[in-house]
């Protein structure tokens, strides 16, 4: 499971919380508001770090943080001292920076992930690691305890909803915890393809994860992303022609055409099609003959 968070909680009451009043008053005026904004930027870096503890001792890490917050190294060191000693918004354990709120959000997220994992494995009745220790009332913390009043919700609840969606079914499934963000569009395409089948599997989202890297799925996904109406020949060629839109596939699915080469593929069944320029017709390619 992940050891960081994708969200951290923050209540509107933080505007008047004493810790932020101290921070803004320390710097004063517009600079005070700017430094509060940089604190929330620092929270993003903390939440993204392993176990939500940002180790500034690693080589080059302070330079990375300073660049992200648009501070000099000297100003960053002074800022961290103000956050720790004056506003008491962070903890600093010999260069490892963390906050109470990001730790609380991580605890809730970890509980949600463990609960979802138990459901996926069929261990619905098993309690999570923290379930026996924390009640709903105990998880509601005061504004002062939570560095500006970040209340219950946020990453833990969001992730539990996402994980629970996988346990309930594919329609609500979120691929963020299973695939890289850059592959999320291809996962969504594979899921739509699975759901379009007449006979759907019991776990379509799991099937989508399995087939999303298959060559025919990748090819069909690329076809879907290509703009329609491109010329059959290369752009600027004298013999460039435009083909008519392809018909519906024999299975009823939509055919996505790569008109630059006069080829297409059904987005539902994956059947390849070819445009015959001589007869100005689209034809399904015959199945490949067995080599056996």
Provide DSSP, 12-40.
Answer: GGGGG-HHHHHHHHHH-HHHHHHHHHHHH
- 91 and 38 part of one domain: yes
Q: What is the pLDDT of residue 40?
A: 93
Name the strands in the sheet holding 272-276, side by side, starting at the edge strand that comes first in the sequence: 255-258, 263-266, 272-276, 281-284
DSSP 262: T
- 21 and 127 part of one domain: yes
- 89 and 130 part of one domain: yes
- 252 and 207 part of one domain: no
Per-residue pLDDT of 109-154, as tens digits, reads 888 888 888 877 776 554 444 444 444 344 444 334 444 333 334 4
Bigger pLDDT: 128 or 220? 220
Q: What is the pLDDT of residue 123?
A: 62
Bigger pLDDT: 17 or 173? 17
Instruction: Say whether pLDDT at 93 is over 70.
Output: yes
234 is a domain residue:
yes
- 156 and 18 part of one domain: yes
Q: Among 8-17, 127-136, 249-258, whose mean pLDDT is lowest?
A: 127-136
Contacts 24+ apart (CB under 8 A), 78-87: 79/35, 79/38, 80/56, 82/23, 82/26, 82/27, 82/35, 83/23, 83/39, 83/42, 86/22, 86/23, 86/26, 87/19, 87/20, 87/22, 87/23, 87/26
State the total domains in the chain.
Answer: 3
- 102 and 207 part of one domain: no
- DSSP character string of 194-253: HHTSSS--S-HHHHHHHHTTSHHHHHHHHHHHSPS---SSPTT-TT---PPPP---TTSP
Instruction: Say whether pLDDT at 243 is over 80.
Output: no
Q: Answer for the pair 195, 170: CB distance below 8 angstroms, yes or no.
A: yes
61 is a domain residue:
yes
63 is a domain residue:
yes
- 33 and 162 part of one domain: yes
Residue 189's domain comprises 175-213
DSSP 50: G
Identify which of 20-34, 153-167, 252-266 has the greatest average pLDDT: 20-34
Instruction: Say whether pLDDT at 287 is over 80.
Output: no
Per-residue pLDDT of 172-203, as tens digits, reads 444 445 566 777 888 888 888 888 887 877 78
220 is a domain residue:
no
Bigger pLDDT: 169 or 186? 186
CA distance 231 to 243: 7
Instruction: Say whether pLDDT at 222 is over 70.
Output: yes
- 110 and 208 part of one domain: no
289 is a domain residue:
no
80 is a domain residue:
yes
208 is a domain residue:
yes
Q: Among 14-18, 69-73, 133-137, 155-159, whose mean pLDDT is lowest?
A: 133-137
221 is a domain residue:
no
CA distance 270 to 190: 12
Per-residue pLDDT of 34-48, as tens digits, reads 999 999 999 999 999
How many Cα atoms are found within 13 Å in the side-chain-facing hemisphere of 241?
Answer: 11
CA distance 89 to 42: 11
Q: How confident is the model at residue 23 (pLDDT cuts 50, 70, 90)?
A: very high
Q: Find the helix or strand (DSSP H, E) in which 166 lies.
A: helix 154-168
CA distance 282 to 151: 60
- 130 and 17 part of one domain: yes
């Amino acid at each position: 499971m992940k050891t960081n968070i994708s969200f951290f909680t923050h209540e509107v009451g933080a505007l008047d919380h004493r810790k932020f009043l101290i921070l803004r008053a320390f710097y004063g005026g517009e600079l005070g508001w700017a430094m509060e904004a940089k604190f929330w930027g620092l929270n993003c870096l903390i939440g993204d770090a392993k176990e939500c503890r940002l180790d500034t001792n690693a080589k080059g890490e302070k330079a990375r943080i300073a660049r992200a917050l648009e501070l000099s190294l000297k100003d960053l060191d002074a800022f961290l001292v103000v956050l720790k000693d004056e506003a008491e918004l962070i903890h600093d354990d010999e260069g490892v920076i963390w906050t109470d709120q990001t730790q609380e959000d991580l605890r809730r997220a970890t509980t949600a992930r463990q609960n979802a994992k138990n459901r996926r494995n069929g261990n619905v009745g098993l309690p999570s690691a923290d379930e026996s220790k924390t009640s709903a009332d105990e998880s509601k913390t005061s504004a002062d305890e939570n560095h500006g009043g970040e209340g219950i919700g946020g990453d833990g609840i969001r992730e539990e909803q996402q994980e629970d969606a996988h346990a309930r079914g594919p329609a609500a499934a979120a691929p963020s915890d299973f695939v890289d963000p850059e592959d999320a569009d291809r996962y969504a395409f594979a899921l739509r393809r699975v759901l379009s089948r007449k006979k759907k599997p019991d776990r379509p989202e799991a099937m989508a994860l399995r087939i999303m890297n298959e060559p025919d799925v990748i090819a069909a996904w690329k076809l879907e992303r290509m703009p329609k109406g491109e010329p059959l020949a290369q752009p600027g060629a004298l013999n460039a022609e435009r083909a008519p839109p392809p018909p519906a596939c024999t299975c009823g699915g939509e055919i996505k055409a790569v008109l630059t080469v006069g080829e297409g593929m059904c987005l539902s069944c994956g059947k390849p099609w070819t445009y015959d320029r001589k007869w100005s017709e689209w034809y399904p390619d015959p199945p490949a003959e067995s080599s056996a």
